[in-house]
A and B are shown apart, each in its own frame.
Chain A
């Protein structure tokens, strides 16, 4: 990629990310958006915290559940927003324009995801705050820098998954259905609220194919004071899965883009 096209790409990314910011706040005032980010993660956490509190299961403590949910919150914000991008475009009716622009869908979607990923970081910071100050999660042994790395990689790998779902969404009626199903599967399979070994044996391999499982594992280790080297295996898996999914989504988008152009599916939703 030469310098000119690199600058062009950067401009498209900057422009489309500011566009998605404006899109978000055109429909919803900023305070309501913030309230949603702050409250949704709180109540989701509270729900499972009370379940854990009521169950009195020694392995699944309130602290166990709230940490899992904090990570799940950032993972889901990223997944949904990235996966939803093509659907929003279709809804707004700009899809034909985007496809006919020389930049390609991939660059535009990367730009549009930036803001959402930032929102994801806000969510996780807030969720961790709830977990520590309201639900008694003990993070005194944690190295903050390690947790930051874990969270960035979590977001990255979930964005990869979201891109893949979004790519399918450009072709199918809506990627949101798949995104929701995947997010609920994540809730059950990835050790968010209870250890993976509770699951039937035949389900566990699926758990280890999903980046969220490693994210939650790494976060739990980090909370107990693990160093970067100690969580390296999990981080490596997230990175691998994230890159793999991004590459896959790139080719899927290219392929579907061609298919959309051939069949004109961007109007048929």
Chain B
């Protein structure tokens, strides 16, 4: 991996984000509003449900942001005419996208913090974490796995012309199966495996174990969930590499990225 190029791409994405505040909508406002709705519905329910909603709100934010910003990552260059100079440079496209993906994930994290703070002020949730150190460690691992999904998304979306449709179509399905707002165990049985192949679901589960006293979740415990998540993340990275190779091959053979 070309760390310098990735870091440059990270900074570039940061500058873009800070100078073009419309990204705030999918990455901050939307998940924040969903969390508010859920908190309203949960407000008379006792127990750790509220903390679950707050945690879930953060997870939604990280997901929404990964989906949208990574989905646009290369499309933006195509639209902007910068894909050509990017591809004629000796840096692999994947390294550029990786840097951007890390930034996007961090923005998702800032959303999580915002939800946390607002929930604390408006709903007096009295959030206390059972195991803060463990919690933050898992959080960082989960962010890494989200960044790797971002890579897969950005490569996948750019291969089809209908990327914007796919992107907005995926938002709620992912919210449903992410296990962010409610335990995935209440979903129909056949949906649960979908949830299991999304690496962050395992991270979310581990985070909940660390945050909530007495939460059991999927049942693999923190270490087990983390291991599954890391394995899945590795698979994502391999997939992303393959997809990026395919992009490069399409461009160089046909002169366009999309072939269908």
Interface residue ranges, A against B (CB under 8 Å): 27-29, 32-33, 35-36, 39-40, 43-44, 46-48, 50-57, 60, 65, 173-174, 176-177, 180-181, 184-185, 187-188, 193-194, 198-199
Contacts and interface: CB of A to CB of B under 8 A. Distances in A.
B181 interface: yes
Contact of B182 (A44, A50, A176, A198): A50
A28 B181 contact: no
Given A28-B161, A32-B162, A194 B187 contact: no
A62 to B, nearest CB: 11
Nearest to A177: B22
Given A174-B22, A187-B33, A50 B40 contact: no
B256 to A, nearest CB: 15
Contacts, number: 94
B40 A36 contact: no
A39 B168 CA distance: 10
Interface in B40-69: 40-45, 49
B29 A51 contact: no
Contacts of B187: 50
B202 interface: no
Size category of the B interface is 20 to 34
Contact of A47 (B49, B162, B176, B183): B176
Interface string B18-33: 0000100100011001
B41 A55 contact: yes
Nearest to A50: B182
Which 10 A-B residue pairings sit nearest by Cβ, starting from the closest? A43-B172, A54-B182, A184-B33, A180-B25, A43-B173, A44-B172, A28-B162, A194-B40, A36-B169, A36-B165
Interface of A is mostly: helix
Given A54-B182, A187-B34, 20 more contacts: A29-B162, A39-B169, A43-B171, A47-B175, A47-B181, A50-B181, A51-B38, A51-B41, A51-B181, A53-B182, A54-B183, A55-B41, A55-B42, A55-B49, A57-B41, A65-B41, A180-B30, A184-B30, A187-B37, A198-B40
Given A188-B33, A193-B40, A51 B182 contact: yes
B186 interface: yes
Contacts of A57: 41-42, 44-45
B162 A40 contact: no
Contacts of A198: 40, 43
Nearest to B44: A57
A176 B164 CA distance: 14
A13 to B, nearest CB: 26
B25 A177 contact: yes
A99 B39 CA distance: 46
